[in-house]
């Protein structure tokens, strides 16, 4: 018997064609697996091209025409995350910090509908193993942290909103090129008899020359997380993502997972993208200047042919409170890369320092005997 194919749904819950049970997406597949009868309900992948949207045109004329989705979002009072709530769900726990959420404290927002996504590729069991391995490798971690890693239910699968930007840039710059050169200089020293004598030595100096020029760069899929709930530093370190495998958006891939609402809009996102681009542009300018040292006095960048995508990327996340502070851990649910914040046990650090001092003291004591 062939697996049933789920083609369309207007339901808040996706139902098994065999036994009518609720379905959840099975990571690493393209199907929704029934936990009761075992049937794998295949998802029909839409045959659509992943569209790059013109940024300027979208901002000026197309924003109000773009397809929107009405979602109930609840802002966590503890960590500020904005999580989308499913229909008929009146309460939940914040996936970012474990704080209770109540729908009556939320609001309905009209948001741009994502155009594509990467489905979960790593299942909860493997994610938990990666999490435990990462936790186990942390030096000077509190003992309770490793115990926490055993609590599988604390890991939450969530889709995080991202923007990707393409742009061609043209940058004019001015600055200085530094070229090293060697020269000899005389200096006076005193010999063992107390007599002064003159010697020479070779020193390196820099010859600075004014420069100006122009460089061009082409950027493809500069990723910007659309959430303020995750530490941006760690979210960036989850890269790279296999964006060449993006699939057209389909709500069936979201079944069984949470989805966060974007808090950074497309214009704000491009400001973050510029910061990432600027690092590459500066490196290109330094290469163009050449020499041994470079100083950039000014640069002016024009951004052309800007396009973007609104996508969802899958993370396994965990958060807990330790000494009144929230620590977040993230796993790239495509590649298994783990990043996160961590607490330190100052008792362990102090003991390690004391042990180190004792060892050094022992070595010194034995050396004097």
DSSP string, 44-76: -------PPEEHHHIIIIIGGGS-EEEEEEEE-
According to the model, what pLDDT value does residue 148 have?
A: 57
Nearest to 279 by CA among 317, 325, 236, 242: 236
- Tens-place pLDDT, residues 150-174: 554 578 889 999 999 999 999 999 9
pLDDT digits (tens, 9 = 90+) for 296-338: 999 999 999 999 999 999 999 877 666 667 777 889 999 999 9
pLDDT band at 263 (very low <50, low <70, confident <90, very high): confident
Q: Which residue has the tokens 């082409």?
A: 218
Q: CA 15 → CA 4, 28, 36, 261, distances in Å?
A: 11, 20, 12, 25
Which of 39-43, 112-116, 133-137 shows the lowest mean pLDDT across its residues? Answer: 133-137
Mean pLDDT, the chain, as a whole number? 80
Q: What confidence score (pLDDT) does residue 71 get?
A: 64
Reply yes or no on whether the pLDDT at 27 is more than 70.
Answer: yes
Indicate if the pLDDT at residue 225 is higher than 60: yes
Q: What is the pTM of this model?
A: 0.77
Strand partners, 293: 178
Quick one: pLDDT at residue 22? 78
Q: Is the sign of the CA dihedral 122, 127, 133, 134 positive or negative? A: positive
Greater model confidence, 255 or 191:
255
Assess contact for 98 and 327: CB atoms under 8 A: no
Provide the pLDDT for residue 10: 37
Domain ranges in the chain are 1-44, 45-171+214-347
Long-range contacts of 281-284, Cβ-Cβ distance < 8 Å, separation of 24 or more = 281/169, 281/171, 281/215, 281/217, 284/171, 284/215, 284/217
pLDDT tens, 193-219?
Answer: 778 888 888 999 999 999 999 999 999
pLDDT at residue 346 in the model: 47
pLDDT of 8 strictly over 50: no
pLDDT of residue 181: 94
- Mean pLDDT is lowest, of 196-205, 276-285, 354-363, for 354-363
The more confidently predicted of residues 82 and 107 is 82
Instruction: Express as a percent the part of the chain with pLDDT over 90.
Output: 37
pLDDT at 62 over 70: no
* pLDDT for res 317: 87
């Amino acid at each position: 018997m062939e697996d049933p194919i789920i083609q369309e749904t207007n339901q808040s819950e996706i139902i098994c064609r065999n036994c009518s049970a609720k379905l959840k997406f099975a990571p690493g597949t393209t199907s929704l697996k029934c936990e009761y009868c075992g049937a794998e309900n295949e998802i029909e992948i839409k045959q659509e091209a992943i569209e790059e949207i013109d940024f300027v045109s979208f901002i000026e004329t197309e924003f109000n025409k773009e397809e929107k989705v009405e979602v109930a979002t609840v802002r966590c009072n503890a960590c500020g995350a904005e999580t989308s709530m499913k229909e008929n769900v009146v309460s939940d726990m914040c996936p970012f910090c474990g704080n209770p959420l109540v729908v009556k404290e939320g609001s309905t927002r009209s948001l741009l509908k994502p155009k594509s996504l990467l489905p979960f590729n790593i299942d909860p069991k493997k994610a938990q193993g990666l999490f435990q391995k990462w936790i186990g490798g942390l030096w000077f971690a509190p003992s309770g942290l490793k115990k926490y890693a055993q609590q599988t239910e604390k890991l939450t699968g969530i889709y995080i909103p991202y923007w990707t930007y393409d742009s061609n840039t043209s940058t004019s710059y001015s600055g200085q090129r530094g070229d090293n050169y060697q020269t000899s200089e005389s200096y006076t020293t005193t010999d063992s008899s107390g007599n002064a004598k003159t010697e020479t030595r070779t020193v390196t100096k820099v010859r600075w020359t004014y420069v100006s020029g122009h460089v061009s760069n082409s950027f493809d899929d500069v990723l910007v997380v659309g959430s303020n709930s995750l530490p941006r530093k760690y979210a960036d370190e989850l890269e790279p993502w296999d964006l060449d495998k993006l699939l057209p958006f389909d709500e069936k891939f979201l079944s069984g997972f949470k989805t966060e609402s974007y808090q950074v809009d497309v214009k704000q996102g491009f400001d973050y993208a510029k910061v990432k681009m600027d690092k590459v542009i500066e490196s290109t300018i330094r290469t163009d200047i050449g020499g041994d040292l470079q100083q950039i006095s000014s640069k002016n960048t024009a951004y052309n042919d800007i396009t973007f995508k609104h996508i969802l990327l899958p993370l396994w996340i965990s958060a807990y409170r330790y000494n009144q502070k929230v620590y977040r851990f993230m796993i790239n649910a495509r590649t298994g890369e783990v990043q996160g914040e961590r607490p330190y046990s100052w008792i362990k650090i102090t003991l390690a320092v004391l042990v180190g001092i004792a060892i050094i003291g022992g070595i010194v004591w034995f050396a004097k005997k």
